[in-house]
């Protein structure tokens, strides 16, 4: 074994069949190629190294090199990022890509750097919709009385509360059991995650209301980043950018496959009108601006981003 090989450990919460895992493996392959085998990435899936929150804490102290988390988890470390959790923030995918790939996206990726978390790129995490054990969620009224699993995110808690459900934070890796045991009645996620997590085995109703379009974020520990030479930093950034392109290609097919497969497994998919959901979430915007007035300009810049 060569001694001058740097191995960067990368932990995340998804299973190996999920497109984000495949993209991370691709990132490692490209980095290895670019560095002539001098830098390798070892990917640890399935929350093996901890929950998303714990992984970010490991990055902060430099005992883990890289991770991929949902922007919702990163929100606790960067107030600016919480804006991405606002329901119905983007008009459509084109608008979302303009924002994330432009100047605002760059600023957001670096917004947690003062906490030793450097964002390298976004991965597409599609749109999140509700799935439930007992009934389709056709309107916000159907959420009343249901315990809805949310990510460890204040925005997600506020959103579900505004829509009328009872938000219950549960770590992703514990959600299957939580659903099975009735600790929660419902949850929400994008189709590939609903499918790959096998939550569809327990939840037979998937209601595509697409309330949020929270991206995933690939991050490197600022401590590890600073140990890299300028040339190595460029390789890592390029490998991350290339993996994001690859992931975006995998994503579309993964969504189609997930919807097909869960339907085959007996899940009833419905497409409720988004208007009643949208009408409930005004308070989520005003609450965020009230608590963090400095974010009003960022929200406005996102809304005014032209296509």
Q: Mark out the alpha helices in the chain (DSSP H runs).
A: 19-34, 52-61, 71-74, 93-101, 103-109, 154-163, 175-180, 191-196, 222-227, 230-264, 275-280, 282-291, 296-303
Are 195 and 258 contacting, i.e. CB atoms less than 8 angstroms apart?
A: yes
Going by C-alpha positions, the residue among 215, 246, 217 that lies closest to residue 124 is: 215
Are 250 and 23 contacting, i.e. CB atoms less than 8 angstroms apart?
A: yes
Q: What DSSP assignment string belongs to 167-235? A: EEE--GGGHHHHHHTTS-SEEEE-HHHHHHTTGGGT--EEEEEEEE-PPEEEEEEHHHHHHS-HHHHHH
Q: How far is the CB of 293 from ligand GCU (least distance, A)?
A: 29
Which residues share a beta bridge with 218? 68, 121
Residue 111 interacts with ligand GCU (CB under 6 A)?
A: no
Q: How far is the CB of 146 from ligand GCU (least distance, A)?
A: 17
Q: How far is the CB of 118 from ligand GCU (least distance, A)?
A: 18
Q: How far is the CB of 131 from ligand GCU (least distance, A)?
A: 11
Q: Which residue in 86, 125, 184, 203 binds ligand GCU (CB under 6 A)?
A: 125
Q: How far is the CB of 211 from ligand GCU (least distance, A)?
A: 13
Residue 172 interacts with ligand GCU (CB under 6 A)?
A: yes
Q: Which residue in 189, 212, 221, 247 binds ligand GCU (CB under 6 A)?
A: 189
Q: How far is the CB of 33 from ligand GCU (least distance, A)?
A: 26
CA distance 218 to 244: 9
Q: Which residue in 193, 221, 222, 247 binds ligand GCU (CB under 6 A)?
A: 193
Q: Which is nearer to ligand GCU, 34 or 127 (CB)?
A: 127
Q: Which is nearer to ligand GCU, 13 or 78 (CB)?
A: 13
Q: Which is nearer to ligand GCU, 56 or 302 (CB)?
A: 56
Q: How far is the CB of 180 from ligand GCU (least distance, A)?
A: 16
Residue list 34-93, contact with ligand GCU (CB under 6 A): 52, 69-70
Binding mask 238-257 for ligand GCU (x = CB under 6 A): --------------------
Burial class (CB in 10 A: 0-12, 13-18, 19+), 38: middle
DSSP assigned state of 307? -
Q: How far is the CB of 132 from ligand GCU (least distance, A)?
A: 15
Going by C-alpha positions, the residue among 67, 87, 47 that lies closest to residue 214 is: 87
Residue 13 interacts with ligand GCU (CB under 6 A)?
A: yes
Q: Which is nearer to ligand GCU, 35 or 158 (CB)?
A: 158
Are 224 and 65 contacting, i.e. CB atoms less than 8 angstroms apart?
A: yes
Residue 206 interacts with ligand GCU (CB under 6 A)?
A: no
| Contact residues for ligand GCU, defined by CB under 6 A | 13, 52, 69-70, 125, 151, 172, 189, 193, 216
């Amino acid at each position: 074994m060569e001694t001058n090989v740097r191995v960067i450990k990368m932990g995340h919460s998804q299973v190996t069949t999920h497109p984000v895992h495949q993209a991370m493996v691709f990132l490692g392959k490209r980095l290895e190629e670019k560095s002539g085998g001098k830098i390798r990435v070892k990917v640890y899936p399935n929350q093996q190294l901890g929950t998303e929150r714990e992984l970010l804490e490991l990055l902060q102290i430099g005992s883990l090199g890289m991770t991929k988390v949902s922007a919702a988890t990163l929100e606790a470390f960067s107030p600016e990022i919480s804006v991405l959790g606002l329901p119905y923030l983007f008009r459509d995918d084109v608008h979302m890509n303009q924002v994330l790939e432009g100047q605002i996206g760059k600023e957001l990726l670096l917004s947690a750097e003062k906490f030793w978390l450097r964002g390298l790129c976004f991965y597409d995490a599609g749109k999140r919709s509700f799935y439930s054990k007992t009934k389709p969620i056709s309107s916000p009224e159907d959420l009343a009385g249901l315990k809805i699993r949310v990510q460890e995110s204040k925005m997600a808690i506020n959103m579900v509360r505004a829509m009328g459900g009872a938000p219950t934070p549960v770590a992703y890796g514990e959600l299957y059991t939580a659903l099975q045991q009735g600790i929660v009645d419902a949850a929400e996620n994008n189709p590939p995650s609903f499918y790959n997590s096998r939550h569809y085995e327990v939840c037979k109703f998937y209601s595509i209301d697409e309330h949020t379009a929270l991206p995933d974020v690939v991050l490197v520990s600022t401590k590890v980043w600073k140990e890299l030479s300028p040339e190595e930093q460029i390789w890592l950034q390029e490998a991350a950018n290339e993996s994001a392109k690859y992931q975006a290609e995998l994503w579309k097919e993964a969504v189609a496959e997930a919807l097909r497969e869960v339907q085959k497994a007996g899940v009833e998919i419905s497409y409720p009108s988004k208007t009643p959901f949208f009408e409930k979430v005004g308070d989520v915007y005003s609450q965020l601006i009230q608590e963090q007035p400095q974010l009003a300009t960022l929200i406005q810049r996102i809304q005014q981003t032209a296509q």
